[in-house]
Amino acid sequence: MTQRLDTIFAALADPTRRAILTMLLEDDMAVTDVAEPFTMSLAAISKHLGILADAGLITQEKRGRVKWCKLDPDAMRAASVWMQGFGQFDPVDLDDFERFLAQEIEGAGEQGR
Amino acid sequence: MTQRLDTIFAALADPTRRAILTMLLEDDMAVTDVAEPFTMSLAAISKHLGILADAGLITQEKRGRVKWCKLDPDAMRAASVWMQGFGQFDPVDLDDFERFLAQEIEGAGEQGR
DNA sequence: CGCATATTCAACCGAATGGTTGACCATTTC
DNA sequence: GAAATGGTCAACCATTCGGTTGAATATGCG
């Protein structure tokens, strides 16, 4: 479990990867489509997706020559459970969250690191 | 905000730092006392605490020659809010969490990295 | 004052991270 | 079958990370 949290939090620590997760919240996507809004190479995105998959944050399924990426909430839930132990947080204001998402998606492709 | 999530998740990605946070859940502690259960050097722990403080996960206050470390739930809440946007997770079973904590604290000092 | 205690600083080290490029493999399409 | 498309692999590079050690800086105590 400790091992798992390591990889989950490490995966979440990168803004590109978080942006990818928020994109996948909209819909499942092929690797190439995930890469489209970013300025970095396809190989780099492919690596990021690999890290997300290792952490269990997404699953990848190959159908034909395209590999579909899909959000998998289990890992995030595990981390969330851990964090919530540190205090009972207020229920999330989903409007706030949507606004935040819109902003983060918008900024997704702009910078490398 | 994105910047902040970077440092928060990066801080949480290290098992030593998570163990420190769980220790601080019990009570505020001086740096030396935080270091006591670990096998690594005091300087290393001091660095870890600096990273936790930078991320806003703890605050440090110097009183006399001892620096007290105190959990600060705000940063964790910010990250938790972000994560909860990915799915409405079940309310946490606090008994489960306590059991998990006991286990993690126990194992805290055993390994370097 | 002089010594012990609490903590950080600085330099260093090996390993991991995030990115690049170019070659490669697999699948679909003409 | 040849060419285009989707994706990964491998080697490389600069930077960051997690740790070490030894010296330095406060602060408290007899």
Tokens of A90: 């207020």
Place of tokens 């699953």: A59
The pLDDT tens digits for A88-108 are 554 555 555 555 545 544 444
| pLDDT score of B111 | 38
> What contacts A113, CB < 8 A, 6 or more positions away?
A15, A16
pLDDT at A35 over 70: yes
Which residues in A lie closer than 8 A to residue B96 (C-beta atoms)? 81
Q: Cβ of residue B33 near strand D, that is under 7 Å?
A: no
Smallest Cβ distance to A85: which of B10, B81, B97? Answer: B97
The pLDDT tens digits for B5-21 are 999 999 999 999 999 99
* Banded model confidence at residue B85, pLDDT cuts 50, 70, 90: confident
Q: How many helices (H) and strands (E) does chain B have?
A: 6, 3
**A11 against A112, higher pLDDT:** A11
Instruction: Give the residue on A whose Cα is nearest the Cα of B12.
Output: A9
Place of tokens 């998402």: A101
Evaluated on CA atoms B12, A107, B87, A44, the torsion sign reads negative
Rounded to an integer, what distance in angstroms lies between the CA atom of residue A109 and that of residue A93? 26
Rounded to an integer, what distance in angstroms lies between the CA atom of residue B92 and that of residue A80? 9
Rounded to 5 degrees, what angle do the CA atoms A30, A5, A99 make? 55
| pLDDT score of B77 | 87
| pLDDT score of A99 | 56
- Find the helix packing angle between A15-26 and A42-54, rounded to 10°: 80
Q: Cβ of residue B43 near strand D, that is under 7 Å?
A: yes
| pLDDT score of A111 | 38
| pLDDT score of A78 | 87
Smallest Cβ distance to B77: which of A6, A18, A89? Answer: A89
**A47 against A74, higher pLDDT:** A47
Instruction: Find residues 23-52 of chain B whose CB sits inside 8 Å of chain A.
Output: 25
Alpha-carbon Rg for chain B, nearest whole angstrom, is: 15
What is the rounded average pLDDT of the residues B76-96? 71
* Banded model confidence at residue B55, pLDDT cuts 50, 70, 90: very high
- Find the helix packing angle between B2-12 and B73-84, rounded to 10°: 100
pTM to 2 decimals?
Answer: 0.84
| pLDDT score of A18 | 97
| H helical segments located in B27-72 | 31-35, 42-54
pLDDT at A47 over 80: yes
What is the rounded average pLDDT of the residues B53-70? 97
